[in-house]
């Protein structure tokens, strides 16, 4: 049962009804489960009536929950405002059961439908062209497809942000903001995280989002890049700040990361083109073993500064910069301030050309 200690100021209602019909039920019971950080914890049990229907009154705090039907199929639900209807059929237990009557869940569904309708076909087309170019060994065509894909993602981010702005801020917002990146949409994402935290205090997933935004602000465009202090392959400590005075690409990569290895030729090309103008690279490896790390440096002809603590994604640098996937890169000006992030392919050369052109005019 939901105890008094579960109830607080985070949007508790007089009661939300969850009801439905059960067809071909399996043995067991229906459980209501609270979403915790590492598991779903049962908090109450629902029993099916003789006519194969059920009705349950929820009086706990607002949040994301799961209704588990006989351990055969579950429905992830938002319990905040609306009464829900969830029907179960024991002959069809694939996927997540969608509740009826939830404005928040309908909002999530409408958002994804709109975004997929606008960008889905184009995304598939670009991906197919990229795969075909790679299979044919057409590097120029693959680069063209990648640039087109990055431009499409930028447009998709803008569209998603504008769509999210049209919705009320509720628990559905938490899921929708996860589609926004921490670079181009940091302001909106941070603002929504703060508003959610005020409206629904005490929910760990919203608190985690707020903490993520705090970390993202420390690596936002325009701020001074946080220090990195790691050893190079010879065991000598090389700090990021020691490269101040150069234009620096902080490049998080790894030997085992295929997209990183595919991107390396573009970084090598940019390095060779602009190194005489003061451009360099500070490569941060998320490898686990030194031998493979050094081997990849040699194989890809990466003749710049390299550092690593060989701690995979637990690397102190990866934690500081909030790196969740690689390749991940940050471009710094001569003062160590972040001027761009995640530049791939031709975008890196374009950004460097723009920087040096502007610098020459000063």
What are 107's two structure tokens?
């909002």
Q: Which residue in 251, 233, 230 sits closest to 293, CA to CA?
A: 233
Mean pLDDT across 147-157: 91
pLDDT at 8 over 60: no
% of the chain exceeding 70 in pLDDT: 96
Tell me the per-residue pLDDT of 328-345, one tens digit each, with 9 for 90 and over.
999 999 999 999 999 988
Superfamily of domain 229-361 in the CATH hierarchy: Glutaredoxin (3.40.30.10)
Q: What is the pTM of this model?
A: 0.76
Q: Determine the topology of domain 4-98 in CATH.
A: Immunoglobulin-like (2.60.40)
Angle at 7 between CA 3 and CA 11, to 5 degrees: 150
Which candidate, 36, 119, 32, 109, places its Cα nearest to that of 69? 32
Give me the long-range contacts of 254-257 (CB less than 8 A, separation at least 24). Answer: 254/285, 254/286, 254/287, 254/293, 254/296, 254/326, 255/285, 255/287, 255/292, 255/293, 255/295, 255/296, 256/287, 256/292, 257/286, 257/326, 257/327
Looking at residue 188, what DSSP letter applies? H
Res. 11: pLDDT tops 50:
no
Quick check: 13 pLDDT over 60?
A: no
């Amino acid at each position: 049962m939901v105890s008094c200690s579960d109830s607080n100021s985070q949007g508790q209602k007089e009661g939300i009804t969850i009801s439905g019909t059960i067809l071909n039920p399996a043995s067991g019971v229906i459980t209501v489960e609270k979403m915790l950080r590492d598991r779903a914890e049962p908090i109450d049990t629902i029993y099916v009536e003789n006519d194969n229907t059920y009705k349950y009154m929820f009086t706990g705090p607002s949040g994301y929950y799961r209704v588990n039907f006989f351990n055969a199929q579950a429905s992830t639900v938002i319990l905040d405002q609306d009464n829900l209807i969830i029907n179960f059929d024991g002959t069809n237990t694939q996927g997540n059961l969608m509740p009826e009557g939830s404005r928040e869940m309908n909002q999530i569904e409408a958002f994804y439908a709109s975004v997929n309708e606008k960008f889905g076909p184009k995304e598939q087309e670009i991906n197919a062209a990229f795969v075909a170019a790679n299979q044919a060994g057409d590097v120029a065509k693959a680069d063209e497809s990648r640039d087109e894909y990055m431009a499409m993602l930028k447009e998709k981010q803008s569209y998603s942000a504008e769509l999210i702005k049209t919705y009320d801020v509720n628990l559905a917002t938490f899921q929708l903001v996860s589609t926004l990146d921490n670079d181009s949409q940091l302001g909106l994402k941070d603002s929504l995280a703060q508003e959610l935290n005020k409206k629904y205090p005490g929910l760990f997933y919203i608190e985690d989002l707020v903490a993520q935004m705090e970390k993202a602000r420390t690596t936002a465009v325009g701020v001074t890049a946080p220090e990195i202090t790691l050893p190079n392959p010879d065991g000598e400590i090389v700090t990021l700040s020691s490269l101040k005075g150069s234009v620096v690409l902080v490049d998080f990569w790894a030997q085992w990361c295929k997209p990183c290895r595919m991107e390396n030729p573009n970084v090598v090309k940019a390095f060779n083109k602009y190194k005489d103008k003061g451009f360099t690279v500070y490569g941060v490896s998320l490898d686990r073993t030194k031998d493979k790390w050094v081997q990849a440096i040699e194989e890809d002809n990466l003749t710049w500064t390299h550092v690593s603590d060989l701690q995979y994604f637990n690397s102190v640098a990866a934690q500081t910069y909030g790196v969740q996937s690689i390749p991940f890169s940050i471009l710094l000006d001569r003062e160590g301030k972040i001027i761009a992030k995640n530049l791939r392919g031709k975008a890196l050369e374009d950004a460097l050309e723009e920087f040096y052109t502007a610098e020459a005019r000063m």
